Chain A
Amino acid sequence: MTDHHIILPEGSIEKQTTTLNLGPTHPATHGVFQNIMELDGERVVSTEQTVGYIHRAFEKIAERRPLYQITPLTDRLNYCSSPINNMGWHLTCEKLLGVETPKRVDYLRIIIMELARISDHLICNSIVGVDAGAFTGFLYVMQYRELIYEIYEEVCGSRLTTNIGRIGGFERNFSNTAFTKLEKFLKEYPVALGELESLLTRNRIFMERTIGGGAISAERALNYGFTGPNLRAAGVDYDVRVHSPYSSYEDMEFDIPVGKTGDNYDRFLVRNQEMWQSMRIIKQAYEKVQSFKGADAEVYHADVPEYYLPKKEDVYTKMEALIWHFKIIMGEVDMPKGEVYKSVEGGNGELGFYLISDGGRAPFRLHFRRPCFIYYQAYPELIKGAMLSDAILTMSSLNLIAGELDA
């Protein structure tokens, strides 16, 4: 026998835990997340998150941009449901400018926002399935997200980063094709959602993987600033759509699903139920949209010439329209002074816009309240003592979106 010895670094024998760098670009984490974990075998002892890998300084950039140039920035926050961000931003501007939107616009906005919520929850829930080992559901529901994207495309021309809508309404009326596609979606989607549910909800493997993992009590969740489905899964029925209704949500009849334990399984169930509720809301909103007759049925924006872009045909043929177009795009119209906080129920929580205007062309200060930046802080507490694979599952069930986290 030879006398070869492996020389170990000083102190490495005494060290009881392993340090693992998970991320920033790990295939198991959906997005740019880095976690430095201390592991005891496969159990997580502690973790420290590093964020900011895709920080793009939106708040600084926004200080030089007029209102419409900020809309594309909001697209890139939670890019799974960008229409909600766009409309949240336009609602903030409308609050500052004192614009009243017609009812038809509100209902059309509700349709788009609830479609966005469905696409957001659909991705999140099916990704939870993927991390628990069921890839089929994720691939299967993609074609239903596609139906939603086709509706966006019909309304605004783009799919992922939508830049949808204008201050006071939409850039154009919904075409008949858009409504046909909406009807198709309303008809086909419930079947697929039912199938996704039957694939996962009572699946033994899925239940055992998710029940009890990443649980948080209602009290801790509130202290950590949880909002949205994550808070509701812990049993608190806080929903911005009901507490401070915007865009005529008060006219809609819907329930807020709540969970009990705040674990991964409850978060999954709450999101699933919310999709059913969103379907309910869309149906009601669509009925209301159809009930408008005559000239009312053609209304798709409020009358705010200072901020609503004139029609393209007019811009190309009339001098006044061209001037207004230029003034709006270049931010020649000054905003009124004031401070506004407006929040909407985003896909993963309360998305807030805090806008300070000093009466100039661009905001003096714009702060985004990004829900996942706030609740990601709780991650070490959620996964303490859990298996590494459950930590991954917990991360996806929190619906973290890197773009929103880092702003």
Chain B
Amino acid sequence: MAITNEQIEQKLTEKFGETVSHFEDTFGMLCFEVQKEQNLKLLQFLHDEPELGFTFLTDLCGVNYPDDKGRELAVVYHLHNLVSNIRIRVKVFTAIDEPNIYTASKLFAAADWMERETFDFYGVHFIGHPNLKRILNVDEMDYFPLRKEYPLEDQLRIDKDDQMFGRG
């Protein structure tokens, strides 16, 4: 019998108490937050506990909420239990001036590049990552482009000379 979202929630609250919160059901997927000091313990628990068995890391990405003071950056994990076919979403929030989160790359080999990508675009520093450097952008880049503080180019700007591209 597959475990239900309520049972997962109950199990996690029993084990982690206050550190897991904001449980909600979004389009059938259980979604919750965990304090950043506990993220690795939680992932390990989800991975090892036979009843939970979230052994497959589907996705890992960053999100920037500029208006949420003290928790501007989020790292979102999508985990999948392939046996019972349940997906959950775990979020870890951190302040933008102290973006340190423990790496999950020891637990999931798949997390290695996805964490590098998150570092590349959001500047989240993954503590203990074996090779935390930029992956898609150039090494010399000195900002984190997917943060909301870097807007896309204004489409109405007039100072650009596009004559060479036939758009003069």
Contacts and interface: CB of A to CB of B under 8 A. Distances in A.
Interface string A51-91: 11001010111011000000000000000000000000000
B102 to A, nearest CB: 18
Interface size grouping (class) on chain B: 20 to 34
Contacts of B64: 365
A374 B108 CA distance: 11
A184 interface: no
B31 A339 contact: yes
A225 B117 CA distance: 15
A338 B146 CA distance: 20
A341 B29 contact: yes
B152 A52 contact: no
A52 B113 CA distance: 12
Contact of A64 (B109, B113, B152): B152
A60 B146 contact: yes
Contacts of A326: none
Interface size grouping (class) on chain A: 35 or more
B85 A243 contact: yes
A172 interface: no
A369 B152 contact: no
A61 B135 contact: no
Interface stretch (A8-16, A350-358, A383-391): A350-358
A236 B109 CA distance: 17
Interface in B25-41: 26-27, 29, 31
A407 interface: yes
Report whether over half of chain A's contact residues are helix, strand or loop; otherwise say mixed. mixed
A59 B146 contact: yes
B136 interface: yes
Nearest to A377: B113
B59 interface: yes
B55 interface: yes
A55 B59 contact: no
A51 B135 contact: yes
Given A52-B137, A223-B110, A244-B85, A369 B58 contact: yes
B152 to A, nearest CB: 5
A10 B89 CA distance: 54
A369 B87 CA distance: 15
A222 interface: yes
Contacts of A365: 63-64
A222 B55 contact: yes
A341 B78 contact: yes
A338 B27 contact: yes
Contact of A224 (B110, B137, B146): B110
Contacts of B146: 59-60
A224 B113 CA distance: 10
The list of the 9 closest CB pairs from A to B, nearest first, reads A225-B110, A52-B136, A367-B61, A55-B136, A369-B59, A223-B109, A224-B109, A377-B113, A365-B63
30 contacts: A51-B136, A52-B137, A55-B136, A59-B121, A60-B146, A61-B152, A63-B152, A64-B152, A95-B27, A220-B109, A222-B82, A223-B109, A223-B110, A225-B57, A225-B58, A225-B109, A238-B82, A340-B26, A341-B78, A343-B58, A352-B58, A352-B59, A354-B61, A354-B76, A365-B63, A365-B64, A367-B61, A373-B113, A374-B110, A374-B114
